[in-house]
Structure 1
């Protein structure tokens, strides 16, 4: 039937076939052949490797004692035969795949290649490794750049998680944005703004995603800006006439600090002089999310001067004005989980509280010129204490190195009293192992970015210093120092651009302006350009315009008034001008009273004689 159908189709279509038939493959046979080939190659490779190992062993034994040479040579074939017999007995021990390099031993570590300069932990290399792992050599301070924020104290620093942008704030109310990838060697900020008007900037921090910035200033309302400085959210202000701060929707006094939650990108925290620590959500700006109220040993209200989250976000720590450090569980806001009453001297502002990257060590920078570390598992007494570190600012901070082996902080100096320094303390013995003289002003802010491995410092004279090492640091300041300054574009001197077309017709050619005076004279003769007033209408008037004269009564009166040459500036003279004519030819008043008007009789009395004494007594004037 198939042949008949093919014949019918070929007769109909006009050709005998539809091409070559598809080839068929036996996949199982192909896999079996591949496996056998791999097994044979593995056998050969394994035998060759064993022979090389045996030959190397023989050479070593021969060097040590010639008597052992015979024993080693006799044992070599036995190992090879046993290995070959074992491989023939069971196929499970056979190696399948490409052969391993000959220089790799069984004890070598499997994984990605080790970085250059890596050394094994042998006894011979321990001394070298100890010198290379010294904490001082890990400090990236071989190079530095200075960013001119202004002339006043740089009181806030913030770096986004990727390390691409730096934001600085100061006592001059300005917030400046620096982009390392977009800056050149001139080191100029690409944006400057005043988000809180006339309030000093106290804290600037990027969120854990780097898309928004928390701005805490001297007012009672914290703000959230996006990466470019545009407002996203502003906290509501509370009612300052309510006694219980838990019943208000926001802070009622000046803010002291704030920070973002390390895990939840929409949550941040602020502390204020109203005695509260409040948690906020970016999506709900009308009311705080939670509130914590620090209390003294007598149960009175205490002002928190700084606050922070733990690395996992479960704990909230606050340093208070009475010298205490209070730590709450984030989900329990009534009672503290850890409490230290005598952490610092009462009445001083604890300027910084920060957790280590491990999460168990807490470092505090006190207003009593001390730096202390604490173990939160034993929070009654500090682990280490360093004194004599002057602190004049309420936001002087401290931070850990990315490997938790160093703790750094800045010192304050008076004007003309020396240089402010950046101190490095070892976390094991807590001794000062290194010091950087920054500038002739106080060191207020310090920040060690773990990804860039660069140290940012804010000073009291308006500078933001960035320390880095070309070998150890990544990106950041290394991107902008290699760029040359951009040339400034000169403004055009021509006020009007001319398009010169040499082959255009004269009627379309625009004449060039050679003299301004001649052009003004031409414009003066042009009635449109000189705004010449329209002439008066001759005749009775048309188009809603009044004629010159004679058309209407009003125009006639206006004409007569305009043509009257008499001067009526003095009305008395104008009236007396007609007095003589009216007396000689009376016409209006005098003829009407001519017949009935009596003659006036006046007594004539000489001025030299005394007046007659014929008046009654009661009319006489009393002297």
Structure 2
């Protein structure tokens, strides 16, 4: 777009605008004013004096408005905009343009009743804004059809979901693997949050570590230790990060181990002679239960038979952070048999020996309970397990009064349902929710009239028994449904741990072990020799006295044959071997590379040459054959007689 230029040497307003004829609806006076302004602007000098100030300002505003309207017309694609556009706006002209661009408007104008029916799909996509109204009869008919379609689809989806994903099919128990912890009852069982490891503790003080990635089909633990010496392991739990394990044993001091079993913290013990338990630094009686904070990796909770719950913070703390006292109905002390946090750590729940369930809000002081249900279970029977659902609205309790109850925290006065005839002999028998909170799982101890103990699955919606799985001919103590692996781990009273999984719905865990074959060791043949003692036998038939293994090993070490000692280096010939060289590099070079034969330096060289004289005279090889043809005959002087004087006698010392 070319805009007009305003220059101030001579007032010139060069607007690229063609002269237009006055329209019918325009003001003729205004047109005359515009023509006069254009004439004044085009006339060279002196135009500024002819126009008054108001006329010049009006002219500049009109030019700026024209420029702005022209720019907006190009950008927005409309015929007119602004004050002048409103003056020249013609509705008939706009309708004609619309008919040219959208021929469907003529049909809608001619027959408006068929407006919505005759539109094509492309026209519907171009329409922006609310659609034209539909008659009420057609609208009701379409809504009924849509509703019937949605209902039929929902019914079909529900039927399919009920058929394909029924509660019984959600249970992963198609395959079974067994792990042997020992021969005594396994009271504690915990799984790593990532699903890589499993730890178990039993009544025989042992704690076993199981690594699914490192095990084979033999299913043997890679580490076994006794963290609390001669105290049974009652409870185990991994922290939220999986790098620490809380160990609750039969003594008054809880321990924290790292992932490999090395001790990181041991809680201090309180003073048992102080009557006020809030004044002591730790528990003074046997521990009953414990758990980690749901999202704080350094905070955990413990319960003991001293009537208190204690919250511990940090791995270097020497005493607890908070002390919670459990009270019976008359205000006396009662003991907590189990405790737990809810999923968001806003509530602490405890199941007491007097049959009550007590909860405390962690955001307030632990003086009064938030919920307290007296008589939740039979008085005098331990509430062995108290667990929150994953959604956090339900609570399940398991007791030694052969019952399991489901509670709703919004209506906490009465249980939602009570399941009976669940025999339990151990005070650590627990229950757990399925990962989707639709099932509640618990085990039973072996009654006298049964041959196998069962694992029960109950629905949390209609409270019916969904499935019953026979586990073992011993008691079922702990049950763990891992939400990440979707596998069931069940500990028994005979020291076995059974793992149930589904081939399609479960992942990793025990599925990694069963496919690895066990590597057998090569059998070693051992021949036992009975020793015959013969004190008066001949030396030939007498047997040596049995010595200790250390003495035998020392004697065999001294024997070069038995110890397979390598040959020692030699400096001279011995044992049929000859030393080819000396002990230094120079001697090796001289003896092996420099000289092929040994030369005796003490021999007379004249004698060494003359010993070849006879051989050279008899068998000449070098010089005589070369001069045989040309060599004259040698003439030697004859020897003078003895009496003939010598021509020249040498002087002697006597003559001098």
TM-score, length basis structure 2: 0.58
Deviation at 1:282, TM superposition (A): 3.1
Which residue number corresponds to residue 300 of structure 2? Answer: 268
**How far apart are the structure 2 equivalents of 1:275 and 1:509?**
90
Match of 2:478 among 436, 440, 445: 445
Deviation at 1:226, TM superposition (A): 0.4
Match of 2:263 among 231, 238, 260: 231
**How far apart are the structure 2 equivalents of 1:294 and 1:83?**
71
Deviation at 1:408, TM superposition (A): 0.4
Which residue number corresponds to residue 144 of structure 1? Answer: 176
Deviation at 1:351, TM superposition (A): 0.3
Taking a change above 3 Å as real, the CA distance of residues 283 and 81 of structure 1, as seen in their structure-2 partners, is closer
**How far apart are the structure 2 equivalents of 1:375 and 1:510?**
97
Which residue number corresponds to residue 507 of structure 2? Answer: 474
Taking a change above 3 Å as real, the CA distance of residues 237 and 431 of structure 1, as seen in their structure-2 partners, is same
8 Å Cα contact 2:264/2:315 also seen in 1: no
Greater mean alpha carbon deviation, residues 442-451 or residues 489-498: 489-498
**How far apart are the structure 2 equivalents of 1:397 and 1:390?**
12
Q: How does 1:67-86 map to 2 (within 5 A)?
A: 79=120, 82=123
**How far apart are the structure 2 equivalents of 1:510 and 1:189?**
58
Which residue number corresponds to residue 204 of structure 1? Answer: 236
Match of 2:359 among 317, 327, 337: 327
Deviation at 1:83, TM superposition (A): 7.7
Deviation at 1:127, TM superposition (A): 2.0
Match of 2:288 among 246, 256, 261: 256
Which residue number corresponds to residue 298 of structure 1? Answer: 330
Deviation at 1:121, TM superposition (A): 4.9
**How far apart are the structure 2 equivalents of 1:435 and 1:81?**
61
Match of 1:175 among 197, 204, 207: 207
1:135 aligns with 2:135: no
Which residue number corresponds to residue 614 of structure 2? Answer: none
8 Å Cα contact 1:414/1:441 also seen in 2: no
**How far apart are the structure 2 equivalents of 1:508 and 1:136?**
89
Find the residue that maps to 1:316 and give its secondary structure.
Answer: strand
Match of 2:404 among 371, 390, 405: 371
Greater mean alpha carbon deviation, residues 211-220 or residues 479-488: 479-488
Identify unmatched segments of 5+ residues in structure 2: 1-113, 129-151, 527-555, 576-656
Find the residue that maps to 1:351 and give its secondary structure.
Answer: strand
8 Å Cα contact 1:280/1:290 also seen in 2: yes
Match of 2:273 among 214, 218, 241: 241
**How far apart are the structure 2 equivalents of 1:428 and 1:186?**
40
Deviation at 1:132, TM superposition (A): 1.1
Taking a change above 3 Å as real, the CA distance of residues 178 and 299 of structure 1, as seen in their structure-2 partners, is same
Which residue number corresponds to residue 55 of structure 1? Answer: none
Deviation at 1:433, TM superposition (A): 1.4
8 Å Cα contact 1:141/1:468 also seen in 2: yes
Aligned pairs, how many?
403
**How far does the alpha carbon of each residue in 1:36-72 deviate from its partner, in whole angstroms, 9 at most, with x for none?**
xxxxxxxxxxxxxxxxxxxxxxxxxxxxxxxxxxxx9
Find the residue that maps to 2:163 and give its secondary structure.
Answer: helix
8 Å Cα contact 1:234/1:285 also seen in 2: no
8 Å Cα contact 1:165/1:177 also seen in 2: yes
TM-score, length basis structure 1: 0.61
8 Å Cα contact 1:236/1:285 also seen in 2: no
Find the residue that maps to 2:246 and give its secondary structure.
Answer: strand
**How far does the alpha carbon of each residue in 1:496-536 deviate from its partner, in whole angstroms, 9 at most, with x for none?**
674879xx97769999xxxxxxxxxxxxxxxxxxxxxxxxx
Q: How does 1:507-546 map to 2 (within 5 A)?
A: none
**How far does the alpha carbon of each residue in 1:365-386 deviate from its partner, in whole angstroms, 9 at most, with x for none?**
0111000011111111111000
**How far apart are the structure 2 equivalents of 1:80 and 1:428?**
48
**How far apart are the structure 2 equivalents of 1:510 and 1:335?**
98
Deviation at 1:337, TM superposition (A): 0.2
8 Å Cα contact 1:154/1:171 also seen in 2: yes
Which residue number corresponds to residue 45 of structure 2? Answer: none
**How far does the alpha carbon of each residue in 1:107-154 deviate from its partner, in whole angstroms, 9 at most, with x for none?**
xxxxxxxxxxxxx95544432221112110010000011110000000
Which residue number corresponds to residue 427 of structure 1? Answer: 460
Deviation at 1:289, TM superposition (A): 1.0
Find the residue that maps to 1:216 and give its secondary structure.
Answer: strand
8 Å Cα contact 2:271/2:284 also seen in 1: yes
Deviation at 1:418, TM superposition (A): 2.1
Q: How does 1:96-175 map to 2 (within 5 A)?
A: 121-175=153-207
8 Å Cα contact 1:325/1:339 also seen in 2: yes
Taking a change above 3 Å as real, the CA distance of residues 509 and 161 of structure 1, as seen in their structure-2 partners, is farther
Find the residue that maps to 2:516 and give its secondary structure.
Answer: coil
Which residue number corresponds to residue 517 of structure 2? Answer: 484
**How far does the alpha carbon of each residue in 1:246-293 deviate from its partner, in whole angstroms, 9 at most, with x for none?**
000000000001000101110000000000000112323310011100
8 Å Cα contact 2:423/2:447 also seen in 1: no
Deviation at 1:343, TM superposition (A): 0.1
8 Å Cα contact 1:261/1:268 also seen in 2: yes
Taking a change above 3 Å as real, the CA distance of residues 418 and 238 of structure 1, as seen in their structure-2 partners, is same
8 Å Cα contact 1:410/1:445 also seen in 2: yes
Deviation at 1:297, TM superposition (A): 1.3
Larger radius of gyration: 2
Which residue number corresponds to residue 414 of structure 2? Answer: 381
* CA RMSD between the two structures: 2.8
**How far apart are the structure 2 equivalents of 1:242 and 1:81?**
88
Find the residue that maps to 1:246 and give its secondary structure.
Answer: helix
Identify unmatched segments of 5+ residues in structure 1: 1-71, 91-119, 512-623
**How far apart are the structure 2 equivalents of 1:509 and 1:238?**
81
1:361 aligns with 2:399: no
**How far apart are the structure 2 equivalents of 1:190 and 1:232?**
20
8 Å Cα contact 1:233/1:282 also seen in 2: no
Find the residue that maps to 1:381 and give its secondary structure.
Answer: coil
Find the residue that maps to 2:383 and give its secondary structure.
Answer: coil
**How far apart are the structure 2 equivalents of 1:510 and 1:151?**
65
Taking a change above 3 Å as real, the CA distance of residues 366 and 500 of structure 1, as seen in their structure-2 partners, is same
Taking a change above 3 Å as real, the CA distance of residues 415 and 79 of structure 1, as seen in their structure-2 partners, is closer
**How far apart are the structure 2 equivalents of 1:174 and 1:505?**
56
**How far does the alpha carbon of each residue in 1:313-366 deviate from its partner, in whole angstroms, 9 at most, with x for none?**
110000000000000012321000000001001000110000000101000001
